[in-house]
Amino acid sequence: MNTTRRFGRLLTAGSIAVACALTAPAHAQNDKMTSIATPAQPNAVDLGTGPLPGAKAQESWHMQYGSQFARNVTVATLTPFLPDPAKATGAAVIVAPGGGFKTLSMSNEGWDVAKALADRGVAAFVLKYRLNQTPPDMDAFARAMARMFSGAARPRPPAPGDAASTLAPQIADARAAFALVRAHAKAWHVDPDRIGMLGFSAGAMLTMATALHGQDAKPAFLGDIYGPLAPVAVPAGAPPLFVALAADDPLFGNGGYGLVDSWRAAKRPVEFHLYEQGGHGFGMYRKATTSTGWFDAFARWLGMHGYLKPAH
């Protein structure tokens, strides 16, 4: 079975949809979706991949779990979070928030992550990639999601699909993000050969799809945070991989660790953190569970690979 078909197992309608509903911390408070005005994003750069084909709904934002979410994103952007040039290491990370390809957890899995990376001297770039369309009305969207996750109404996974075509717009956005950072590498104090990608849930799916199908993206390293861990055919020279997952993750906690096994079998560098508790979507939320420590572990991993200091 080729890489595309095997990775297609990760991208069933059921997995993508459930990922959208499970982006909350385990102790979630205020889970009501409340519409908000689109926040100012003065540094966001249009990636030039064009509007989402056939899109009719306009981009909108809401609050949930104390975090800001975007949905109906039709134009992809990249927002830089640059470290002080005096402590810039030259390493960079494309950050891909999750949300089931229907929303994007922009605060918890985007901006907050990018700020923490910049504090370590690593340039970070939050990717607001194009999304599948949802009902424009907030209440209609909430009702649709409630129906989707009410037992029998939950969608059944279809046959394995083609990741390259299933996520074609999103992979194009990720490729454009890598190209943009490399084009501005000198101005942004980035080494074009030291750009990695870090994704959460659906963003982790996109991260792995970019590594496997992204052609010229060529991430230097990968971070997969509570994404699906089905096995893949690992390409020659695959980059180092960091994986973090909670054992009580209701979506991917019982699915095995094939992705990690695949990387090990290919004798490629991989680090795996399986936290006892944390649920799905813990991100940068402050929690009592040890899953909160994933970012410090990721930073130490970056340091072990030399990304927290200049290459020369």
pLDDT, residue 197, reads 99
pLDDT, residue 163, reads 74
Q: Which of the two residues, 255 and 227, has the higher pLDDT score? A: 227
Of 149-163, 179-193, 198-212, 227-241, the poorest mean pLDDT is in: 149-163
**Span 14-23, mean pLDDT?**
45
pLDDT, residue 144, reads 76
SS3 content of the chain, % helix, strand, coil (to 5): 30, 20, 50
Q: Which of the two residues, 143 and 151, has the higher pLDDT score? A: 143
pLDDT, residue 2, reads 46
Using CA atoms, how far residue 185 sits from 76, 145, 179, 207, 262, in Å, is: 20, 41, 10, 21, 32
Q: Which candidate, 211, 189, 216, places its Cα nearest to that of 311?
A: 189
pTM: 0.91
pLDDT, residue 29, reads 56
Q: Which candidate, 72, 74, 93, 95, places its Cα nearest to that of 20?
A: 72
Q: Which of the two residues, 9 and 77, has the higher pLDDT score? A: 77
| Pairing verdict, β 45-46 and 77-81 | antiparallel
Confidence of residue 148 (pLDDT cuts 50, 70, 90): low
Q: Which of the two residues, 141 and 273, has the higher pLDDT score? A: 273
Element containing residue 200 per DSSP (H, E): strand 195-200
pLDDT, residue 239, reads 98
Confidence of residue 312 (pLDDT cuts 50, 70, 90): confident
Residue-averaged pLDDT of the chain: 88
Confidence of residue 8 (pLDDT cuts 50, 70, 90): very low
Q: Integer distance in angstroms from the first to the last C-alpha of the chain? A: 42
pLDDT, residue 150, reads 58
Residue 89 pLDDT more than 70?
yes
> What domains are defined for the chain?
3-304 (3.40.50.1820)
